[in-house]
Amino acid sequence: MKNYNFSAGPAMIPDEVKVRMQNDLSGWKVPGISVAEISHRSSSYIDLLDDTKERFKSLLDIPNDYEVLFCHGGARAQFSAVPLNLVSENDKPQYLNGGYWAQSAYDEARLFCNAKLTSIEQYHNKVYSLKPCDEWDIDIDAPYIHFCSNETLNGIEITQLPEQNFPFIADMTSNILSRPINVNKFSMIYAGTQKNLGIPGLSVIILKKSIINSDNERVPSVLNYKKLLDSNSLYNTPSTYAIYVTNLILKWISSRGGLMKIFHENQKKADYLYSYLDNSPYYSNNVDPKYRSLMNVSFNIEGNNFLDEKFIEAAEKNGLHYLKGHRAIGGMRASIYNAMPFEAIEKLVNFLDLFTKNIK
């Protein structure tokens, strides 16, 4: 039986990539010496690092006035690095709040500056939704405006931005490379790599070079964008293995036909699952269809929370793993990142249907 990993993160890695990882562990460039064992300053590693950056630039169509940086500490490190690098204590960047991760980024930013939190959430009859982007109460004086483009816990995604340009900074940890984006709409984008980009611990940053503040001396060096830029992300030893896995994943995306192709596959998978949930009297998803995430599909057994554990247990016996919702909200969540094949969604839907016999 094939097992599928619906974990929200660290998340599924494509099978083809795992095969390459296994092969390369027994020798990468030189037989017997893996990529995890060679110097980050060796020419073969620097070639890999540069290739990874170039692949990002090409897949996301990143303009020349932006740079790609690699940093330690996953996405949460950027919750601190963003305000530390870009503003001073009395500055008031704005944090648009659409859920748990947006709020967490704000909570961290408050340690370093006078950040302001503005809600963009709204509820109608228990349906979780967001304000349309042209109704966001944007502070035009804010040095930057931060939001999270995909709230991994509830499965709510922002895909539309106001027409007017603002200095947006987005946490794209759980939806980066799931669809094409217009990078020009952002001052900066960052993502922890443990979902669509490989394994945890690393963050990828895409930033407009002009926003870097070169005389901000209080920034810890490992998080300092100027130092990362000047050192080609080699200020200290980077997460070499994580960058290598990200490189394999970027190659995998290209081999699948690029981002538009991946986007269409993601739409097909998400539509199939949401449509089943919407048409079943036994399950519910409480996110406004306009903002439903393509990556994280949350659902509940209608009126029967006590069946959650039984559901998870039975799902695992059927090869469907890590469907338990986040501890903060409970219920179930199927994370269906780029690596998840359509046949896994079919298998999940068949199981959902089979399980309804326990609910009736």
Binding-site residue set for pyridoxal 5'-phosphate: 75-76, 101, 152, 171, 194, 236-237
215 among known catalytic residues: no
**335 is a contact residue toward ligand PLP (CB under 6 A):** no
For residue 153, the minimal CB distance to ligand PLP (Å) is 8
From the list 168, 173, 132, 138, the residue with the least C-alpha distance to 153 is 173
The correct pick among 9, 83, 155, 198 for binding ligand PLP (CB under 6 A) is 9
User: Interface with ligand PLP by CB under 6 A: which range of 126-134, 168-176, 220-228, 245-253?
Assistant: 168-176
28 among known catalytic residues: no
Of 53, 136, 195, 227, the catalytic one is: 195
CA–CA distances in Å: residue 92 to residues 115, 118, 203, 259: 5, 12, 24, 35
Sort residue 85 into left (φ over 0), alpha (ψ -120 to 50) or beta. Answer: alpha
From the list 294, 344, 346, 298, the residue with the least C-alpha distance to 321 is 344
**94 is a contact residue toward ligand PLP (CB under 6 A):** no
CB-CB contact of 323 with 315 (8 Å) = yes
Closer residue to ligand PLP (CB): 192 or 325: 192
The correct pick among 35, 60, 74, 240 for binding ligand PLP (CB under 6 A) is 74
**256 is a contact residue toward ligand PLP (CB under 6 A):** no
**Alpha-carbon torsion 34, 40, 44, 46, what sign?**
positive
**156 is a contact residue toward ligand PLP (CB under 6 A):** no
The correct pick among 21, 171, 225, 299 for binding ligand PLP (CB under 6 A) is 171
Which segments of the chain does DSSP mark as H helices, in order? 15-25, 43-59, 74-86, 100-109, 225-230, 240-255, 259-279, 308-317, 342-359
User: Interface with ligand PLP by CB under 6 A: which range of 171-179, 180-188, 221-229, 339-347?
Assistant: 171-179
For residue 293, the minimal CB distance to ligand PLP (Å) is 10
Of 101, 136, 269, 324, the catalytic one is: 101
| Residues within window 190-229 making contact with ligand PLP, judged by CB under 6 A | 192, 194, 200
CA distance 75 to 77: 5
Residue 123's φ and ψ, nearest 5 degrees, are -120, 135
CA–CA distances in Å: residue 72 to residues 22, 192, 196, 311: 24, 9, 17, 37
Report residue 161 as tokens. Answer: 């931005």
The correct pick among 11, 69, 75, 199 for binding ligand PLP (CB under 6 A) is 75
Please, what's the b/e burial string for 296-324 (b: 16 or more CB within 10 A of its CB; e: otherwise)?
A: bbbbbbeeeeebbeebbeebeebebebbb
**101 is a contact residue toward ligand PLP (CB under 6 A):** yes
Of 28, 136, 171, 324, the catalytic one is: 171
Closer residue to ligand PLP (CB): 152 or 240: 152
Provide the annotated active-site residues: 101, 171, 195
Interacting residues toward ligand PLP by CB under 6 A: 9, 74-76, 101, 148, 152, 171, 173-174, 192, 194, 200
